[in-house]
Amino acid sequence: MAVAALHAAPATLRVVSDNNYPPYLFIGPDHQPRGYLVDEWKLWEQKTGIHVELVPTDWANAQHMLLDGQADVIDMLFRTPEREPLYDFSAPYAKVTVGIYVDTSISGIDDVDALRGFEVGVERGDACIEHLKQHGITALKLYRDYNAMIDAVHQRDVRILCMDDYPANYYLYKNSAGADFSHAFEFYSSEFHRGVRKGNLATLALVDNGMRLITSEERDALRRKWMGNPVNFTPYTQIFAYALAVAGAAGIALAIWVLALRRAVERRTKDLGFLAYHDPLTRLPNRALLVDRIDHAIRQREGARLALFLIGLDHFKRVNESVGHEVGDQLIKDMADRLSGIEQTHTVARLDGDILAVTLLGTLDTTAITAAAERMQRVIAKGFAWQGRNIFVSASIGISTWPHDGDDGATLLKHADAALGLAKREGRARFRFYSASLTSEAQGLLDLGEGLRRALQRDEFTLLYQPQVELRTGRVVGVEALLRWRSDTFGLVSPDRFIPYAEEAGLIGAIGDWVLQEACHRAAGWVRRGWSGLHMAVNLSPRQFGSVNLYEQVSDALGASGLPPQLLELEITEGSLLQHGPAVSDVLSRLRALGLSFAIDDFGTGYSSLAYLNRFPIQILKIDRSFLIGLPDDARAITLTSTIVAMARNMNMRVLAEGVENVAQWDFLRDAGCDCAQGWYIGPPMTVEQFETWMSRGAPFPPGDDFHPDTPGTSTP
Ligand code: C2E
Ligand code: MG
Ligand code: MG
């Protein structure tokens, strides 16, 4: 039997287990797994000659990996009725007790019935859950792992825990929370087994046979090393015993000190080990672990399909700017949790500040992948509740799939990133699949920063003008100047791509100056041509808005061009106002006194507080186009736009809707009382020549095929 099992043996045996279960298994100072199991499996490897790949991960994921076919064996598994249909179990090899731990502020918890009415914290996937449910205790708070549980304890988020005694002892008492927690009662005891997928008896036999080859001396040594060994003290003579007792006391004190020190070091280094593969904020896998998991899934899963979704939260910087990083972080965590709930999810990871990644694994056709992307957008768009209001963010998603778009995690990631770039450039709040042509484009962007430095001298910037019309009359009342970079290397580059570079490189002052002068000069030319009353709206980047010479910059541009200040409108975002508003409020008042007006751009994507805006001289609100997407049918979009319009009017602000793409949106907005609109339905951003031609034709809209938005407005490298 043993021989047969060994013959059928794989070259590598993949074993998964909990990464947070000292002294059995945890992550050591060298970022490598340590503990009893590591040594035991090493012995097993020596005895059988079969390579063992031991993968410590969070417990829920360990079970997921085994059942999903990503691992052969799961270790430290309790045997429960619910698990019977899923696993075959080895004989038990260790007894473990499980306790209920209670914050000392709660009294009277001495058996399981007393838990009724309380919330109990449990690690996700823990057998505790079944035991509690059998006793009718269903108010459970599930945590990703013990670390998350201990964090919750520190934040007073949970006051009763169900935990195995080994880790509880380690975490609760060694992590300084012990003072407030006591062991209320032993809930049950159970035994560790090794498990395989149901029916995989050959692997189970292979494992058991290998384990049997480990001698009892070798096992004793392991136990001594990891669990300590009771000292067998037999007194020799009375005096000698006394001497020994003194030495022993000193020894024990020393041992306790060394142990405490070692635990402290282990705790810290374990954190470091954890951080090597996880994002510290969300405790989700990071880029390295994501790539590894994809690689592994690809190795294991021939015939199935894997889809990688890179999810960028649109305008997330503005959320951070307006409500602060802490709220931004909470929002990210919340979104990551929601994404974990999507079916067939294999891994959810966090890559950079505002980029999350999700992989799905299974028999996925394009329809299923598309449906999943839409679901992701929906769960994110639900908004995030904060201080009584909802912060709305939309998501742009780039998708790559295996086997189509690459054979390994790194390539799939690169390609999903290129697709994400495309989704963002095409106006955000959408998803795009990878296509091969995107690769060279992404490569080219690396050189972008360099080219930008030379662009000003080479006169490579240009402005496009997008008309703004009054909804009631259809009259053109202004234009927004939208910057483009005509680069020899990259073609026509949109500002979303290069403004962040320009800000970082300290070039935004010079570029912004050029935009103001050029726009004022152009608008003054139109006044001379007899087009009276045409406003010129100019975007200011946050840095530009906060700069010390804003007043001089603006008044110089007005003075040099001769444009009446009443025709100049400066667009800023709520985030810049929050960040710099108080410091520059004086400058704003002086500029306002000149006669120009201020507009809040992309309203609704950040702080969204009209009361706050009221402190500053703001005349116009531009509703972000993401709010128009569902109009005129979506109830949420209807409520939001109508509310913004009503409130803004009460505060004597004019409202302009951005991104009007069709007549249905136009009709809705007009009826809702919105003042003005801007968008492709009326006209895309146009070159000077195009705009002048369009005006002289009587500003017809929709503008016709020769004004298709792709022509001047949206082509990018
Ligand atoms: P923004 O100020 O919100 O400008 C509106 C953006 O929406 C423009 O993108 C415009 O092309 C696009 N758009 C207009 N109508 C529609 C529509 O119907 N549907 C869709 N999907 N999109 C529409 P663009 O030109 O790529 O500019 C992007 C952003 O770059 C601007 O957003 C603005 O924040 C910034 N920007 C543009 N020009 C300048 C500038 O001179 N200085 C600074 N600092 N930022 C600028
Ligand atoms: Mg704007
Ligand atoms: Mg806008």
| Residue 272 pLDDT greater than 60, yes or no | no
Span 298-324, pLDDT tens digits: 888 766 889 999 999 988 888 888 888
Q: Which of 258-272, 384-398, 615-629, 665-679 has the highest mean pLDDT?
A: 665-679
pLDDT at 607: 66
**CATH code assigned at 26:** 3.40.190.10
Q: Are residues 639 and 545 part of one domain?
A: yes
**pLDDT exceeds cutoff 80 at 619:** yes
Question: Do residues 430 and 480 share a domain?
Answer: no
pLDDT in the model for residue 710: 45
Average pLDDT over residues 526-549: 91
Give domain status of residue 668, yes or no.
yes
What separation in Å is there between the alpha carbon of 152 and the centre of ligand 1?
A: 43
Does 268 score more than 60 pLDDT? Answer: no
Query: Which range, of 377-386, 446-455, 579-588, 614-623, averages the lowest pLDDT?
Result: 446-455
Q: Nearest-CA neighbor of 99 among 91, 110, 88, 87? A: 110
- Assess if residue 670 is contained within a domain: yes
pLDDT at 269: 53
CB neighbourhood size of 435 (10 A)? 14
- Residues of the chain with pLDDT > 90, as a percent, come to 36
Cβ of residue 626 lying under 6 Å from some atom of ligand 1: no
626 and 663 within one domain: yes
Residue 303 CA to residue 290 CA, distance in Å, equals 21
Per-residue confidence at 440, pLDDT binned at 50, 70, 90?
low
127 assigned to some structural domain: no
Measure 352 CA to ligand 1 centroid, in angstroms. Answer: 24
Is-contact 131 188, C-beta < 8 A?
yes
- What are the backbone dihedrals phi and psi of residue 339, each rounded to the nearest 5 degrees, phi first? -65, -30
Residue 470 and residue 391 share a domain:
no
Choose one of 426, 493, 539 to mutate for the ligand 1 pocket test, by most ligand atoms within 8 angstroms of C-beta. 539
CB 120 within 8 A of CB 184: no
**Which residues does 655 contact at the CB level (< 8 Å), separation at least 6?**
620, 621, 622, 623, 644, 645, 648, 649, 674, 675, 676
Strands 51-57 and 12-18: parallel
- 340 and 282 Cβ atoms separated by less than 8 Å: no
How many other C-beta atoms can be found within 10 angstroms of the C-beta atom of residue 510? 11
Q: Does some domain include residue 204?
A: yes
Residue 596 belongs to a domain:
yes
pTM for the whole thing?
0.48
Q: Is residue 241 part of a domain?
A: no
Q: Tokens 């056709």: give the residue.
A: 365
What's at 121, amino acid-wise? G
Does residue 110 belong to any structural domain of this protein? no
Decide if pLDDT at 129 tops 70. yes
Same-domain pairing of 333 and 438? yes
Q: What is the 3-state secondary structure (H, E, C) of 550-568?
A: HHHHHHHHHHHHCCCHHHE
- Lowest-pLDDT range, 485-499, 569-583, 643-657, 700-714? 700-714
C-alpha 714 – ligand 1 centre gap (Å) = 10
Helix axes 325-340 and 316-323, enclosed angle (nearest 10): 140
* 313 and 437 both lie in a single domain: yes
- For residues 606 and 675, membership in a common domain is answered with yes
Of 227, 243, 272, which residue is a domain's last?
Answer: 227
Residue 262 clears pLDDT 80, i.e. is over it: no
**Is 613's C-beta closer than 6 angstroms to any atom of ligand 1?**
no
DSSP 8-state assignment for residue 115: G
Handedness of CA 575, 579, 581, 584 (dihedral sign): negative
pLDDT at 446: 47
Which amino acid makes up residue 400?
S
429: CATH: 3.30.70.270
In order of 60, 71, 73, 104, 495, the CA distances from 14 in angstroms are 17, 5, 6, 42, 49
Among 482, 507, 544, 602, residue to substitute to test ligand 1 (most atoms within 8 Å of Cβ): 482
- CA 692/CA 686 separation, integer angstroms: 9
Q: Which atom of ligand 1 is nearest to the CA of 463?
A: 41
Cβ pair 328, 281 in contact under 8 A: no
Strand partners, 318: none
- Specify the DSSP element, H or E, that contains 424: helix 409-425
Instruction: Give the model's pLDDT for residue 708.
Output: 56
Distance (Å, whole) CA 373 – CA 311:
9
Residue bearing the CA closest to ligand 1, atom 8: 482
d(CA 626, CA 424): 12
- Helix (H), strand (E) at residue 677: strand 676-678
CB-ligand 1 contact for 515 (6 Å cutoff): yes
- Ligand whose nearest atom lies closest to the CA of 495: 1
| Residue 100 pLDDT exceeds 80 | yes
Mean pLDDT value across residues 461-472:
96
Which of 570-584, 644-658, 699-713 shows the lowest mean pLDDT across its residues?
699-713
Q: How far is the CA of 482 from the centre of ligand 1 (A)?
A: 6
For 64-90, give the secondary structure using H, E and C.
Answer: HHHHCCCCCEEEEECCCHHHCCCEEEC
Q: What is the position in ligand 1's atom list of the atom closest to the CA of 661?
A: 18
Residues 304 and 413 in one domain: yes
CA atoms within 13 A on the CB side of 91: 6
Ranges 189-203, 366-380, 516-530, 615-629: which has the least confidence: 366-380
The span from the CA of 116 to the CA of 672, in Å, is 52
Question: How confident is the prediction for the chain on average, in pLDDT?
Answer: 84
Residues 662 and 569 both lie in one domain: yes
The tally of CA atoms less than 13 A away on the side-chain side of residue 419 is: 26
Look at residue 366 in the predicted model and tell me its pLDDT: 79
pLDDT at 351 (0 to 100):
92
Predicted local distance difference test score (pLDDT) of residue 243: 52
- 265 pLDDT band, cuts 50/70/90, is low
Query: d(Cα 6, Cα 638) in Å, to the nearest integer?
Result: 66
Please, are residues 294 and 358 in contact by the beta-carbon 8 Å criterion? no
Both tokens assigned to 358: 């999700």
Note the ligand closest to the C-alpha atom of 623: 3
Compute, in angstroms, the gap from residue 619 CA to the centroid of ligand 2. Answer: 14
Lowest mean pLDDT among 129-133, 300-304, 590-594: 300-304
pLDDT greater at residue 363 or residue 187? 187
Please identify, by atom number, the ligand 1 atom nearest to the C-alpha of residue 541. 44
pLDDT of amino acid 609: 74
Predicted confidence (pLDDT) at residue 707 exceeds the cutoff of 90: no
Atom 4 of ligand 1: nearest residue by CA position: 482
| Dist. CA 242–CA 244, nearest whole Å | 5
Task: Find the mean pLDDT for residues 177-196.
Answer: 81
**Ligand 3 being an ion, which residues bring their Cβ within 5 A of it?**
601-602, 658
Q: Ligand 1 within 6 A of 496 CB?
A: yes
Judged by DSSP in three states, 94 sits in strand
Cα-to-centroid distance, 493 and ligand 1 (Å): 12
- If you ran DSSP here, which 8-state letter would residue 72 be given? S
Nearest CA to 34 out of 50, 14, 20, 46 is that of 20
CA 507 to CA 236: how far, in whole Å?
84
The total number of structural domains that make up the chain:
3
For residue 13, tell me if it sits in a domain: yes
pLDDT reading at 247 higher than 70: no
How many A from CA of 693 to the centre of ligand 2? Answer: 23
Higher pLDDT, 669 or 273: 669
Write the DSSP symbol of residue 285: B
Amino acid at residue number 652: N
Rounded distance, CA 388 to CA 392, Å? Answer: 13
Ligand 1 binding pocket includes 539 (Cβ within 6 Å): yes
CA distance between the termini of the chain: 64
Q: Compute the distance from residue 432 Cα to the ligand 2 centre, in Å.
A: 24
Give the Å distance between the CA of 438 and the centre of ligand 1. Answer: 22
Q: Select from 403, 422, 451 the last residue of a domain.
A: 451
Which CATH number belongs to the domain containing residue 563 in this structure?
A: 3.20.20.450
> Which ligand minimizes its atom distance to the CA of 683?
1
Cα 713 to averaged position of ligand 3 atoms, centre (Å):
14
Using alpha carbons, list the distances in angstroms from residue 179 to 167, 174, 520: 16, 10, 68
- Contact present, 656 and 599 (Cβ < 8 Å): yes
pLDDT at 198 over 70: yes
Give residue 183's pLDDT: 82
Question: In which band, very low, low, confident or very high, does the pLDDT at 2 lie, cut at 50, 70 and 90?
Answer: very low
Q: Which atom of ligand 1 is nearest to the CA of 624?
A: 3
Task: Report yes or no: 72 and 41 within 8 Å, Cβ to Cβ.
Answer: no
- Ligand 1 atom closest to 482 (CA): 38
Instruction: Specify the ligand 1 atom closest to the Cα of 508.
Output: 44
| Co-location of 476 and 578 in the same domain | yes
Please give the residue range of the domain that contains residue 301. Answer: 287-451
pLDDT in tens, 19-75: 888 778 888 767 778 888 999 999 999 988 899 999 999 888 899 899 889 999 999
Q: For residue 465, what pLDDT band results from cuts at 50, 70 and 90?
A: very high
Ligand closest in space to the Cα of 605: 3
Cβ–ligand 1 distance for 495 under 6 Å, the answer yes
Pair 376, 483 in one domain: no
Give the SS3 label for residue 278. strand
In this structure, are 598 and 538 located in the same domain?
yes
Dist. CA 202–CA 8, nearest whole Å? 8
